[in-house]
Amino acid sequence: MLMNVFCHNRHLLHLPRRELEDGEWVENPDKPDRIELLKQSLSELDGIEIVHPRDFDESTLLLVHDSEYLGWMRMRCDALAPDKEYFPEVFGYDRMFDTGTPLMKNSLSAALDSVSTALSALEDVVNGNRVAYALSRPPGHHASKGIGGGYCYFNNAAIAARYFQGTTAARVSILDLDFHHFNGTQDIFYDDPTVFCVSLHGDPKVHYPWISGFEKETGEGEGKGYTMNIPLPTGTEGKEYKEALERALLAIENFGPELLIISLGTDTHAEDPIGAFSLVDEDYEDVAMLIMSLNLETLIVHEGGYNPQASARAATRFVKGVLASTG
């Protein structure tokens, strides 16, 4: 099997320098190396082709995000000098919910490139390849309809789901495997019965984003029962993680989606500086093989993972599992 991996070279221009944490400025971990090392590692696998995505129009952002948010992003970015970063000053007026996601001159264009990466990979799946992988950076799963945060500006996976649905009510499932809860994705689809959203993540009682990700959150209105949260304790190892994943996959199978979107965060690795699980390299191959047993058309969209070396090893083992499962 040939599997295409999409990566936009312009992500190299996205260079956030710092974030405010516990009242102190610290280095922002969303560095280009976390994608570049991953891309290099994947390119060395048999059956993998690295593909440059095509550019999509800015209007695709409006499939998910409101025009006021887009206008605010443009206003803020256009006003910045190339060497400056803007952080929220008044929450509610400013459209970022934390102090870890600076705006820069090119943030709007960088985030659109990330969306284009996900949509190009989606087109590859729609055109007949069972699986494609989007190395989207910046990530997306913390961005909701009108607010960003968590290093995320636009929700790549959510936009891909809406783009796939087009004018139909096609059933889509989003499985989020990032260490952090997908608060943005959940918010976007919380009342939607056509998109079944499942997240395995660190317990929000002690881990970012704290505001969401509890088991009791299952959707509302027509979407009641179409959101599933599986918070896991600090230090979760591969055996427990895979048992939880099997619960998630059974729920997805019962839903019967026409497309599975995996928001893949490799910050679940034991060596990640931000996550707090204890998965090791070989676990990711097992995880992939479990997922691929569903035999669904699958789009993989990269999210977090902030130890570049560990992230590259984890994602490479995940892709090996995909390739082994699909022949």
Q: So which residues are the catalytic ones?
A: 142
Q: What is the CA radius of gyration of the chain?
A: 18
Question: CA 125 → CA 48, 64, 133, distances in Å?
Answer: 15, 21, 10
d(CA 184, CA 212): 10
Contacting residues for 32 by C-beta, under 8 A, at least 6 apart: 11, 12, 14, 15, 137
Q: What is the DSSP string of 204-229?
A: TTTSTT-SS--TT----GGGTTSEEE
- The DSSP code sequence of 78-146 is HTS-TT--B--SSBTTBSBSSSS--B-TTHHHHHHHHHHHHHHHHHHHHTT-SEEEE--SS--TT--SS
DSSP conformational letter for 49: E
State the DSSP H helix or E strand holding residue 315, giving kind and residue range, or none if neither: helix 308-326
Alpha-carbon span 252 to 201, nearest angstrom: 17
60, 159 Cβ separation under 8 angstroms: yes
Report d(CA 267, CA 178) in Å as an integer: 6
Q: Do 107 and 82 contact (CB within 8 A), yes or no?
A: no
What span, in angstroms and rounded, lies between the C-alpha atoms of 303 and 294?
22
At what angle are helices 33-43 and 308-326 packed, to 10 degrees?
40
DSSP label at 57? P
- Residue 228's contacts (CB-CB under 8 Å, 6 or more residues apart) are 196, 197, 198, 199, 218, 248, 251
